[in-house]
Chain A
Amino acid sequence: MTAPGFPLVRWGPFVRGVVDDGNPLLDLVGSARYIRNGALSGAGRLLVRPGTEVALTLMDDQGTPAEVTSVCAIIAFGDGALAVGHSTVTSKFYLYWLNDSLTDWYNLSKALQGTTSPLPVGVLWSGAGAPENVFIAEGLGVAYLAHGNAATNFKTRKFDSTAGPPATLTDFQADLRGSGLEDTYFRGVVSFQQHLWGWGYGSQAASDNDRPELLRFGQPFFAAMKQGDSFAVGHRVRSYRERVVAAIVAGSVLYVGTNYSLWPITGFGRNSWDKSRPVDDSYGFAGPFAGTAARNGWLYYWSHRGPLRVIGLNAPEPLFEGLPKATGRVVSDTKIVATFDADRDQVLFLYQDQTSGRVSRLAAFDTLKEIWLGPDGDIGLGVRSAALVQPTLAPAPAGPPTTASTTNIGSTVATANWVNGEAGPGTKTQVEYRQQGAGNWIVATQSVAAGQTSYQITGLQPATAYEWRARHTRNGQGSTYLGPVAGSQFLTTNGLAPPTAVALRFKHVGGGGPL
């Protein structure tokens, strides 16, 4: 349902992990970014939006590293994130290990590097001239990565952050045809009930390489798969029309989608998994990233007809009638990217707009208010993948700022100084001030960066007594305040005294001079 005039609904403050599609019409490519501070009106416009912000620029592995030309995937991983970049210059796919705030990156030795230009922790695939969708599944600190068009060229890879240091990047092997462990060539992977699932597989045998409808799962857990551990979706079996497009976990269900059908797998482990019938034989996943799990077990996804949602084994509920404007302007359904913003309860659909043809537009479904927000104008970049990357441990600041002092006191400004009680990544300092004795604190800033120890308060009145207080914030949690104490109380000056004894005279230099 649309709701013109719906009150301003902000989303954000961040949906981290939107990554660049490498659209040649855009100025910047190869960057992992985050969208933040957007505001959807519900009537069709995104009203307040600084847009996207370049968080990290992914570099290749050349002697003099250059920016990659596309970022193909991003996913929350452990207490950080993983991203995959591709370069048309080197024809390689690269794996990057990022921190959870997308402000730093790890090397293979697990050390944060303190820059915003990550180097890869490894090369995933070489001899790859074009970017491609990449699927990443995580299990207990181990990531499995599949090339979306693996064929017999691009092996499924395994990144183990629990090994070492250094962490390891190896080929993922399984016994898919009863011939012992071999390299694998899955087209997609997902983690479900402590098992790794892969689809479109195959084994090293050329005749066994393409099973578009078949899923394999690891047994036990994320260990090597065996030949008999499989599910097939579709009614015809071995039909390209029933190729698995994506598999998404929502609630207790693994939804396996083809372009035109949706198959739920439920149960309580491999001995009870069931895939007896589809919940939909008409609508499936438009593209590999067109669906996302949302709150309370709902799966929201975009089909060739537009958005739908489903829960459990129920029949999917069409949502596309509420968004005709959006569905009529999508250039390519297969490139739609969906993600769930758990900070704002909204499912975001990003898609290439037919009008501009170069940037992604945004529509969102508010899962609490049951209302469509948008669609809206462009967000400034093409989007290939998106993920909400949230801290898993969410540490609060270790302690408040200490040792307040106030310097450079003028008639309208003063500088607050402190000693940091927490300076770890992601820490910010919030400074507030007020006239001494006044009731309400005025927030001067909420975003003094980690490590900084001063902030100039402006806009003060001359000859007035003020006081300030400060606290650290991190992961949405705040420390106790420093102040008000003697060192944070000050009196602004009474304006500047003017010059005195002012005089004007004339002089003549050179020539005949005065008469």
Chain B
Amino acid sequence: MAQYDPDAPGQWYAVVSWHNSGEGGVSTKVYFGGPFGSPPASETLPFVGTAGPGIASLQINLGSDPEQGTYYAQVRHTKVGSPDSDFVPVPPTDTVGPA
């Protein structure tokens, strides 16, 4: 668990990364939310942005004082003319919050 000093100024970021499938013209939709006590359903995470073709990570600004708890992310590939791929959830291996 990463802990921080709430009195210290600065910004917290969540960084979601992935490996692209390799298909040309594929973008990646990123969904992120939390903190949640238990893993949310795939469709309930807020959509935060789309990374263009060839991009393999997306950084999300959480502000200087994010709420403590477990955050979740999911990603899926998207391409014009094709249905989106299945969701790929991130294992909840990291959390953020006050000490």
Residues of A whose CB lies within 8 Å of any CB of B are 408, 410-414, 456, 458, 462, 493, 495-515
* With contact pairs A496-B77, A506-B94 given, residues A511 and B89 touching in the complex (Cβ less than 8 Å): no
> Is B3's CB under 8 angstroms from A515's CB?
yes
> Which of B22, B26, B64, B89 contacts A502, CB < 8 Å?
B89
Q: Does B88 contact A (CB under 8 A)?
A: yes
> Which of B8, B14, B22 contacts A513, CB < 8 Å?
B8
CA distance A503 to B89 in the complex (A): 9
Q: Which of B48-84 contact A (CB under 8 A)?
A: 62, 64, 71-84
> Which of A410, A493, A500, A508 contacts B4, CB < 8 Å?
A508
* With contact pairs A496-B83, A513-B4 given, residues A507 and B12 touching in the complex (Cβ less than 8 Å): yes
Residues of B whose CB lies within 8 Å of any CB of A are 2-5, 7-23, 26, 28, 62, 64, 71-90, 92-94, 96, 99
Interface of A: prevailing SS: loop
* With contact pairs A495-B85, A515-B5 given, residues A502 and B12 touching in the complex (Cβ less than 8 Å): no
> Is A497's CB under 8 angstroms from B79's CB?
no
- Chain A to chain B contacts (Cβ below 8 Å), 10 pairs: A411-B83, A414-B81, A496-B21, A501-B17, A502-B90, A503-B90, A504-B14, A506-B94, A508-B4, A509-B13
Min distance, Cβ B22 to any Cβ of chain A, angstroms: 8
Min distance, Cβ B66 to any Cβ of chain A, angstroms: 9
* With contact pairs A458-B81, A504-B15, A504-B71 given, residues A499 and B88 touching in the complex (Cβ less than 8 Å): yes
CA distance A408 to B17 in the complex (A): 28
* With contact pairs A493-B82, A497-B23, A504-B14 given, residues A512 and B7 touching in the complex (Cβ less than 8 Å): yes
> Is B12's CB under 8 angstroms from A506's CB?
yes
> Is A412's CB under 8 angstroms from B76's CB?
no
CA distance A411 to B77 in the complex (A): 13
> Is A499's CB under 8 angstroms from B85's CB?
yes
> Is A498's CB under 8 angstroms from B77's CB?
yes
> Is A503's CB under 8 angstroms from B2's CB?
no
> Is B21's CB under 8 angstroms from A512's CB?
no
CA distance A495 to B81 in the complex (A): 10
For A510, the chain B residues whose CB sits under 8 A away are 9-11
